[in-house]
Amino acid sequence: MSLATLKSPALPFPFELTRSRRKTLVVYVKGGKVEVRCPLRASNEWILSFLKGASQWIQKQLEVQRHKQRERLVITDNRFVPFLGKPRLVQVILSTRQKVVLRDEYLYFFVRENTSKNLERIFNNWLLRQAKEYMATQTIKYARLLGVEPKLKDVVFRRTKTKWGHCCQDGTIQYNWLAMMAPPEVINYLIAHETSHLRHLNHSAQFWNTVAQLCPNYKELRHWLGENGHRFWTGEGE
């Protein structure tokens, strides 16, 4: 397998080219970059011709990603940060003890050092505690409603980059705690989705029928999370 970053006067964007023992060419646009994976013996002419044909679509995807990057979360004094779907105004207070306190529409950050890295760290610690309290409890509740509580092994949390939730074969359910910034109904959809996997470890029609028992408007809420989830990441995140 070989990897190279290439530019061409015929293309308005650079791209990373990976050659491997695959049979087809595929293009990924993620993180503001264009990645091309192709067979070992694919000619440069063929690759460039393919990219020219897909240029309009690629540029559109790059613009969408640039727009989402501009909408990412900024945690600093007098900026709004969402929690349970509502904007909360950040107020930074220098203190010897670091903590976050929620009062109505305000999030008070008591910090020893007013830096973006420190603010993000203590916010994540606080958000994780909120997630453990709310999402774990709600998962048990939904598992009981579905009659699958014996299958629920554990509820864990990881700040994963690709999934908001995951249900393992052993019955462990994993969530990304950043979801606590979403509205409660969206969080509940996520929990309903993963808990339903305790009954159906797939995405069959039976699975979605189970989700609908807990969350009838799951399609709307799933769409909301897909369209807005990027707002819960800082520029250094996902």
pLDDT at res. 237: 45
pLDDT at res. 66: 80
pLDDT at res. 183: 98
Domain-terminating residue out of 70, 97, 117: 70
Same domain, 162 and 66: no
pLDDT at res. 127: 97
Reported pTM: 0.76
Low-confidence ranges of the chain (pLDDT < 70): 1-6, 235-238
Same domain, 51 and 153: no
Same domain, 115 and 38: no
Query: Which residues span the domain enclosing 117?
Result: 80-232
CATH number of the domain encompassing residue 95: 3.30.2010.10
What is the DSSP code string of 39-106? ETT--HHHHHHHHHHTHHHHHHHHHHHHHHHHTSB---TT-EEEETTEEEEEEEEE-SS-EEEEETTE
Domain-terminating residue out of 36, 51, 70: 70
pLDDT at res. 235: 61
Same domain, 25 and 104: no
Query: Is there a domain that residue 144 lies in?
Result: yes
